[in-house]
Amino acid sequence: MKPFNRKWIWLGGALLLIVLLVLPFLVKNYRVFQFNMVLVYAVAILGLNILTGFNGQISLGHGAFYALGAYTAAILMDKLGVPYGATLPVAFVVCFGFGFLVGFPALRLAGHYLALATFALALAIPQLLKHKQIEGITGGVQGIVLTKPEPPFSFRFLDQPFSADRWLYFFSVAVTALMFLMAWNLLRGRVGRALIAVRDHPIAATAMGINLPVFKSLTFGMSAAITGVAGALGAIVVAFVSPDSFTISLSIFLLVGVVVGGLASIPGAIFGGIFIQFVPNIADQFSKSAPAAIYGILLIGFMYLLPTGVMGGVYKSWTKLRARTAE
Amino acid sequence: MEALLYQLFSGLANGIIYGSVALALVMVYQATHHINFAQGEMATFSTFIAWALMQAGWSYWAAFFITVAGSFAGGLLVQRIVLRPMEMAPVLTNVIVFIGLLLIFNALSGMLFDHAIKSFASPFPKNSWFATKYFSAHQLGSAGVLLLVLGALFAFFRYTRVGLAMRAAAQNPDSAKLVGIRVSWMLGLGWGLAAAIGAVAGMMIAPIVFLDPNMMGGILLYGFAGALLGGIDTPLGAVIGGLVVGVLENLLGAYVIGTDLKLTVALVLIVGTLTLRPDGLFGRKVVSRV
């Protein structure tokens, strides 16, 4: 087996960069918006995957953290006039704190019970957001309408103007890259191994000197923080938040994204994002209920046939191919 | 005082419904130690079938019993086909499969019977002799039905061989296998029973909340809260838990927090029970060996 040539990695990276830079100018504005949503979902799925895929804590309520991030960004921008770029770190910190707090009762809940508690959280969140007492801040049922940030400079490229959506595309790419880099750095070393150990055998992990409560609640915080950043980014990209965009379906979609992309796979989150953005659009053309049915069938199908998701499948066939060519 | 009593009784009436959903959840939990997230959507789907049968001109009780029998068979089939290969799989896999089932049943209800809200007939006429000032005929009637179901379940588990075998299979699968009980089929039976109870619950709820594919969303959560509060391994506890949740929800909704935070009550109850008293009010303490 030949070690991977460094030259090829640089070449591949450069090619990817060029594609990423040119892509938004090759398609219509609406498509660019959809690409932005793919990135937003990818970051949210990444957050959920850290918790569920790597640490084995099942959350059916990550839509709640997404909503919290989105509302944090929207309220900061709308009420306090904070520039949109500055809302992301705030969303990160707020969601980290909230996730850490949710992580505490979660320590006592394992498996199904945690799924159930987070399921309840996801069901309750739209009601909480609509509540009268905080209507002044959250905008109640109507939500908050934002304005899309203007690009800092304007030019035309390939006959396409540098529109707000295209500017947001580059902004989202940067945020997504940052989040993935952060997650990768967090998970590849000692911390990542500890998380997986806690998932696979908590008792043995404790015996190896891993502080279970600290690791579990910090993972919850980290996962919530990344999903919260996705929510904030989503609020900026869509330029609108309302309680009814954050129903239980959102949480379930995120779980679908994790499963399709691949549990415990970082690049899998991108596949997950592409999947939950584009598959419902295609399925919607057949019937109103089709997306849900397809999601359901795929969830069960993946669990049977490809439990490691698309990324796991790609990886498996890749190693098989290499083994064959090496012979 | 009058208003308080009224709230109390209408809470009890809701509680009966939550109790029956909780009962269905407990059935699956007892048999498989899984919490079935698809329970609500399965019950909704059963209710749609009953509705379709009645639209086709069947009488209420004929449709009722056929639906219950059909749901039993359906639940058994779901367990045999979808969940049996997953019996040994980790919890995460199971939860994902349950969510998959939830989506499929929800989509099926929407596809076959569309999303329009439908009214569902009650078998208990409004001016029955047993209707009182505080309870409508339907509320009292559904309470009676629930009590019947509970009694039948108790008798089934206490006095029949199959019931005993089911309890054995749930408590100690390995030993149960050694004495010749087909454990896997017992799990299937548990699913069938749960689907049948869910169907009864659905048909009792539908006249009150009206029938649409998302009918059970909130009710399932209250059912969960009730089951946990009473103790998820005791059928009687689950029913009592359901009643308590119903009363609490109504009283808090009327006097303390207002109606628009009712789901949050369920959330607080669930998290509170799980953290403070994970076995519920009537549940047995489970000690596990390392």
A143-178 per-position pLDDT tens digit? 788 777 777 777 777 767 777 778 888 888 888 888
Query: Are the Cβ atoms of B100 and A108 closer than 8 angstroms?
Result: no
Query: Are the Cβ atoms of A105 and B275 closer than 8 angstroms?
Result: yes
- Buried/exposed code over B253-264 (b: 16+ C-beta within 10 A; e: otherwise): bbeeeeeebbbb
Question: At A228, is the pLDDT very low, low, confident or very high (cuts 50, 70, 90)?
Answer: very high
Average pLDDT, chain B: 82
Q: What is the CA radius of gyration of chain A?
A: 20
B242, B248 contact by CB (below 8 A): no
Residues 6+ apart with CB under 8 A from A185: none
In chain B, residues with a C-beta closer than 8 Å to the C-beta of A52 are 92
A35-53 per-position pLDDT tens digit? 888 999 999 999 998 888 8
> What is the reported pLDDT for B130?
65
Closest CA to A177 of A6, A17, A9: A17
Which residue has better confidence, A11 or B133? A11
Q: Please say if the pLDDT value at position A105 is more than 80.
A: no
Query: Are the Cβ atoms of B261 and A307 closer than 8 angstroms?
Result: no
> What is the reported pLDDT for A238?
87
> Could you tell me the two tokens for A199?
């998932």
B184-236 per-position pLDDT tens digit? 888 888 889 889 988 988 888 888 878 888 888 778 888 888 888 888 778 88
In chain A, residues with a C-beta closer than 8 Å to the C-beta of B224 are 116, 119-120
Question: At B72, is the pLDDT very low, low, confident or very high (cuts 50, 70, 90)?
Answer: very high
Residue A157's beta-bridge partner residues? A160
Q: Please say if the pLDDT value at position B258 is more than 90.
A: no
Enumerate the domain spans of chain B.
Answer: 20-216
B87-138 per-position pLDDT tens digit? 777 778 888 888 888 888 888 888 888 777 888 877 777 666 666 666 777 7
Q: Coil, strand or helix: which one is B5?
A: helix
> What is the reported pLDDT for B286?
60
Query: Are the Cβ atoms of A120 and B266 closer than 8 angstroms?
Result: yes
Residue A160's beta-bridge partner residues? A157
Q: Coil, strand or helix: which one is B257?
A: coil
Give backbone dihedrals phi and psi of A156, rounded to 5 degrees, phi first. Answer: -120, 140
Q: Please say if the pLDDT value at position B290 is more than 60.
A: no
The predicted model scores a pTM of 0.84
SS3 content of chain B, % helix, strand, coil (to 5): 75, 0, 25
* Cβ neighbourhood burial of A274 (10 Å; 0-12, 13-18, 19+): buried
Closest CA to A50 of A256, A226, A309, A273: A226
In chain A, residues with a C-beta closer than 8 Å to the C-beta of B99 are 60, 252, 255, 296, 299
Which residue has better confidence, A139 or A18? A18
Q: Please say if the pLDDT value at position B289 is more than 60.
A: no
> What is the reported pLDDT for B133?
66
Q: What is the full DSSP assignment across A118-164?
A: HHHHHHHHHHHHH-GGGHHHH-GGG-EE--PPPPSS--EETTEE--H
> What is the reported pLDDT for B148?
87
B25-69 per-position pLDDT tens digit? 887 787 777 788 888 889 999 999 999 998 888 888 888 899 999
A173, A42 contact by CB (below 8 A): no
B236, B9 contact by CB (below 8 A): no
Question: At A1, is the pLDDT very low, low, confident or very high (cuts 50, 70, 90)?
Answer: very low
Q: Which amino acid is at A188?
A: R
Nearest chain A residue to B264, by CA: A124
In chain B, residues with a C-beta closer than 8 Å to the C-beta of A103 are none
> What is the reported pLDDT for A198?
82
Query: Are the Cβ atoms of A127 and B86 closer than 8 angstroms?
Result: no
Give backbone dihedrals phi and psi of A286, rounded to 5 degrees, phi first. Answer: -85, -50
Instruction: Tell me the residue length of chain A.
Output: 327
Average pLDDT, chain A: 82
> What is the reported pLDDT for A226?
92
> What is the reported pLDDT for B134?
66
ipTM: 0.80
> Could you tell me the two tokens for B275?
């953290």
| Nearest CB neighbour to B221, from listed A115, A120, A298 | A120
Query: Are the Cβ atoms of B99 and A255 closer than 8 angstroms?
Result: yes
* Average pLDDT rounded to a whole number, residues B150-169: 86
- What sign does the CA torsion over A221, A222, A225, A226 have? negative
Residue carrying the six token digits 């199904």? A112
Query: Are the Cβ atoms of A307 and B218 closer than 8 angstroms?
Result: no
> What is the reported pLDDT for B70?
92
Closest CA to A137 of A226, A243, A247: A243
